[in-house]
Amino acid sequence: MATQSPFSLLDGLFERIAAGPQPPQWLVHEVQHRVVLFLNHVLMQEREAMDRLVRQRGRVARVQWRVYSMALQITPAGLLDLAPQGSEPDLRLSVTETSALSLAQSVLRGDKPAIRIEGDVQLAAEINWLVDHVRWDVEEDLARLIGDAPAHTVGAVARRAAEALRSFVGARMGAGGPSATDIAPATPRSTP
């Protein structure tokens, strides 16, 4: 007898929620500002990341998933800011996976989601480098609040829990769900 995954119920739930009423514009704007603050916090921990972005200052990248999008402009300091309304993006990154559950499972497995890339190849290469090399050092931020030893302990427990979750999701996906090789990530291409 085949056992149905409990995650299949959640997939339909995500779809129904996404099809429901859209959040107010002020809320979307505030969430986008918080995302930019978080991204800049992470970028400031890695000097090489900021140096790479300085070379791309003024460029705009638009990230889109389904109906949600956010345009980010690179500042002269090598950080990010929300692009002015109506800015023409130099790079468009569109997440092709429409299912929130499949996207979350992919991320939990440690896979990059499939993305359609259009626009400036050099900017795409710099963003790809950031995705591959820049990580949020949660332990360092936590150490500022509670000290080094407790932060290290919390970090170790969190890493073990994340690995267990990845193993669980990977085992469930391996039992009949789509694999990461079913969808090949897009490659950057330049536009005229």
The owner of tokens 């829990």 is 161
- Cα dihedral: 2, 166, 41, 112 (round 10): -70
Other beta carbons within 10 angstroms of residue 38's beta carbon come to 11
Q: How far apart are CA 82 and CA 60, in angstroms?
A: 9
Task: Supply the pLDDT for residue 8.
Answer: 63
CA triple 2-98-169, angle to 5 deg: 40
Identify which of 125, 116, 126, 56 has the alpha carbon closest to the alpha carbon of residue 92. Answer: 116
Cα–Cα separations (whole angstroms), residue 162 to 7, 87, 112: 18, 38, 16
Instruction: Read off the pLDDT of each residue in 155-170 and give the average, rounded to a whole number.
Output: 78
Q: What is the mean pLDDT of the chain?
A: 80
Task: Supply the pLDDT for residue 7.
Answer: 60
Residue bearing the bigger pLDDT, 1 or 29:
29
Query: How much is the pTM?
Result: 0.67
Q: How confident is the model at residue 1 (pLDDT cuts 50, 70, 90)?
A: low
DSSP 147: -
Task: Supply the pLDDT for residue 135.
Answer: 79
Task: Supply the pLDDT for residue 163.
Answer: 80
How far, rounded to the nearest angstrom, does the alpha carbon of residue 131 sit from its chain's CA centroid? 8
Task: Supply the pLDDT for residue 71.
Answer: 95
Which residues, listed in sequence order, are joined to residue 63 by a DSSP beta bridge? 70, 93
Task: Supply the pLDDT for residue 19.
Answer: 64
Q: How far apart are CA 148 and CA 126, in angstroms?
A: 33
Going from N- to C-terminal start, the domains of the chain cover: 7-182
Q: What is the pLDDT of residues 88-143, one digit of tens each?
A: 999 999 988 888 878 777 776 667 788 899 998 999 999 989 988 887 777 777 78
Instruction: Read off the pLDDT of each residue in 138-163 and give the average, rounded to a whole number.
Output: 81
- Judge whether 98 and 110 are in contact, CB under 8 Å: no
Instruction: Read off the pLDDT of each residue in 65-72 and give the average, rounded to a whole number.
Output: 89
Within 13 Å, how many C-alpha atoms sit on residue 123's CB side? 22
Task: Supply the pLDDT for residue 141.
Answer: 74
- Judge whether 98 and 107 are in contact, CB under 8 Å: no
